[in-house]
Amino acid sequence: MLDEVRDAVAEQRGPDVELGGKTRLGATDDHGGPEDSEPAEDEALDKASRWCVCKKVDGQHFLVYGKPRRQRFPFHCVLGPDWWCSFITITLIMIPSVFAVWGAAASMGPFVELLGMISFATCLGSFMLTAFSDPGIIKRQTQAELEQALAENPSGQHVRGLFCNRCNIYRPYTATHCYDCDACIEEHDHHCPWTGHCIGKNNLTFFWVFLSSLLFHFVFVVIVLNLWMGNSGTASAASDPALIADKMLHVAPPIVPDM
């Protein structure tokens, strides 16, 4: 059927032209004048600029709030199929942090308490940026939109990428379809259930920051709680920043190879 559509439209459209490095399909008519495609473009831009609340987006993703064109938390919050796991992760970070930072560290002096607050804020903040940002979801097409796109470009010129049968799109070579999220993700790295969805182009940097800060925060919590419970000396010794730093340097190396 698509071949018939291509043949029928091939005689009625002008050649594709390339504007600013992008191809505009059927940009000119037989007389060299522009086609009336501006209303459709304006409508698409209008939809992309609307503020949405509680809206299902491509695949198994759910837009809690924000504009579809926004991609990063906190201006845009999107949840993946494993959204409940992300809240479990937040709980696992917060519970020991409350005892370590606002309990043990607070009794060891302002320096230790401030270090704990910075460590906790960096760890939790980078996780939320990873879990609630758009990982790089590529908008899917309906079958009708795919047929229309093929009809506008019967020769197949300027089409680059691999075709995804589930999303009905030609995705970039660096993108991969995630079957857990049921969506194509730009620069897909992996699907992480602990963050609720995939790690891709828009949240990979935040993910690495989270892993690094999580390692530091874990070591900090273990050392501070250990000193606070009196397993390493007196209360005055436990409040010594040099002692805490020395303990962290001895605990961290065995953990790093296992990450």
DSSP string covering 150-178, please?
A: HHH-TT-TT--SEEETTTTEEE-TT-EEE
Measured distance CA(49)–CA(235) in Å, rounded: 57
Q: Which residue do the tokens 């609630």 mark?
A: 132
- Give which of 32, 25, 31, 21 is closest to 10, Cα–Cα: 25
Backbone angles phi, psi at 141, to 5 degrees: -120, 150
Other C-beta atoms closer than 10 Å to the C-beta of 254 total 8
The CA distance from 135 to 72, in Å, is: 9
Q: Which candidate in 167, 184, 192, 198 is catalytic?
A: 192
Count CB atoms within 10 A of the CB of residue 209: 17
Q: What is the DSSP letter of 104?
A: I
Which residues 6+ apart lie within 8 Å of 9 measured at CB?
A: 151, 152, 154
Does 192 participate in catalysis according to the annotation? yes
Give residue for tokens 């064109």: 69
DSSP-derived secondary structure letter, 33:
P
Catalytically active residues are: 192
